[in-house]
Structure 1
Amino acid sequence: MKALAAEGYTMVVVTHEMDFARQVSNEVVFLEKGLLIEKAPPEKFFTQPDSERVRQFLQSSR
């Protein structure tokens, strides 16, 4: 998948692997119970999320 992303392929990937998502994504989307909670470029998503729920999730996944 990393090779495909490097070649510019468009993919929709569902993962709980945060390091992988950070490395290969152009945009990260956080869904909970079918609702869009946050959508942002990976650098913003992982360093300055707008949502308290996303901050909690990222803390628990470390």
Structure 2
Amino acid sequence: MEVLSPEGMTQIIITHEMEFAHRAADRIIFMDRGSIAEAGTPEDKFGGSRNERLQSWYSRFR
């Protein structure tokens, strides 16, 4: 990952590791039952989502 990012290479990483996602991502996409529930910056999504399921999910990792 660290080798490709400086070269401007787009990367898609799928993870349940919220701390890693917060540190590594420029954009976060939260999927719920196969659909995109929310998308935004890590600061936006981890800082206070309006989606109740997303809030519940993030609260487990804080």
Question: For the superposition of Structure 1 and Structure 2, which TM-score range results when normalised by the shorter chain?
Answer: 0.7 to 0.9
Structure 1 residue 61, shift from structure 2 partner: 2.7
Within 2, Cα distance between the matches of 1:32 and 1:48? 17
The match for 2:56 is 56
Deviations 1:5-38 (A, max 9, x none): 3x13211110011111111111100001101111
Query: Is there any run of 5+ residues in structure 2 with no aligned partner, and where?
Result: none
Within 1, Cα distance between the matches of 2:13 and 2:47? 21
TM-score by length of 2: 0.83
Count of matched residue positions in the alignment of Structure 1 and Structure 2: 60
Runs of 4+ aligned structure 1 residues displaced above 4 Å come to none
TM-score by length of 1: 0.83
Superposition RMSD on alpha carbons, in Å? Answer: 1.2
Query: Is there any run of 5+ residues in structure 1 with no aligned partner, and where?
Result: none
Percent sequence identity over matched residues? Answer: 32
Are positions 1:36 and 2:36 aligned together? yes
Deviations 1:26-56 (A, max 9, x none): 1100001101111011101001112111100
